[in-house]
Chains A and B, each alone.
Chain A
Amino acid sequence: MMRCCCLVLLIIFFAPLSSLAGETKVYPREVQIYPREVQIYRGEQTLFEDTVWSGEILIDGILTVAAGVTLEIRPGSRVSFTRFDSNGDGIGEHEIFTQGTLRVLGTEEEPVLFTSAEEIPRPGDWGTINMMVSETENLLQYSIVEYGYRGFHAHFSRARLQNSTFRNNMRGAQFQESQVVIDGCRFLDNNNGVQFRDSKVTLSGSFISGNQWGLRCVYSDLIMTDNVIENNLVNGVNIRDGKINAQGNRIVNNRRGLYLQRSEGRVVGNDLSGNSEHGIFLEDSNVEVVDNRLAENGRAGVRWLNSKGRLARNLIADNGVYGLINDGTTAVSARNNWWGTIDPADIVAAIRDGRNRPGLGLVDNRYALMQPLPFDLLGTP
């Protein structure tokens, strides 16, 4: 009798626990060729041999490219992903996951499209083009990547994104501990344009616009030349604890233009104008800011907070409230700039520092230029 009671109790206790484990999703391991010549990958599948795609490909699961294997995608291919959101967080999980090498070889006339398979697509329908420890150089060339959670995502990988468009994703590109070259790409209307951490990145000739955040990174080295970063809702570029070399970029009409926190580097020959708050905001940073145009920003051309470095040979004119705000307690070296006027009183009025806010550091604005230097974006052709 006692034994029976124990058994009954055990069943009562453990039956619900087994149901908590949930249903196991069973994926058939198959590749089907349909009459419309759509190549379909369902469930969890892995490519163990070099593979070439062209035409229509449907990913209805998670497709892994094994280490040492190359997946090549030919011009004009269309790769679509079904929406599968197991935990209801609004983020689709179907994706390509590569530990091998991905070579997407679109052309200007025949780009490769990565998109949602849904009739009414939305950002986050599918996961990402995902790379993990993929150290041979991956290439996305003339690709269009849309409606993903992250258009491109990488950990410990090397990649070149070239002449590709990332649009309407939750994040256009996001990566960590990677080396990525981004050249001639467009990041349009994503929640966040480009985001990375602990990476080395070269960004050139690219266009980042209409995102909530333009570019945001931490603990990274960034070389950026000849880019246009405009009309992003929050910051155009935000770098924290990083190194930057920015040359010849137009970072305009964002809320903040270039926002550097605890970072160092050079900002030379850029147009940092028309931003709602500040053209450049330096916070606890050490940066050389030379030969830039800092004009028509809403609150100030430059906001300087406890930073080192030099502000020289810039055009700082026609900004809203001030040309330069020193909000820190340290001095600012700001010699040889054009302040939009040769009137010493007006130059002083363009600067807010310890002279009108006791306790703040002073700005050394001596040797103001008598006329603006010819401004030219100094980017590499």
Chain B
Amino acid sequence: MTLTRHDVEHIARLARLQIREDQLEPFAGSLSRIIDFVEQLGSAATDQVEPMAHPLQGMVQRLREDRVEASDQRDLFQQNAPETAAGLYLVPRVIE
């Protein structure tokens, strides 16, 4: 197994994902199979190859002028928020 329970706990912490105790072992197994599977990329000769980040080669990122376009839609957007008060998003106390 490439990844251990401990590795899964560490990755889950980085990704801010709670993983139940009884799921650590199954995830270690399936993630190991995936990592073992992608290891075959090592067989490709890529010394002189440029990495490809997106498929539109030769195109440059379009920029726009920095001017206000969108209107204030705070109330509309906050209809989807789990908890708000006075137009603010509420979160648990961060500073004691």
A pairs with B: no
What is the interface of chain B, defined by CB distance below 8 A to chain A? none
What is the interface of chain A, defined by CB distance below 8 A to chain B? none
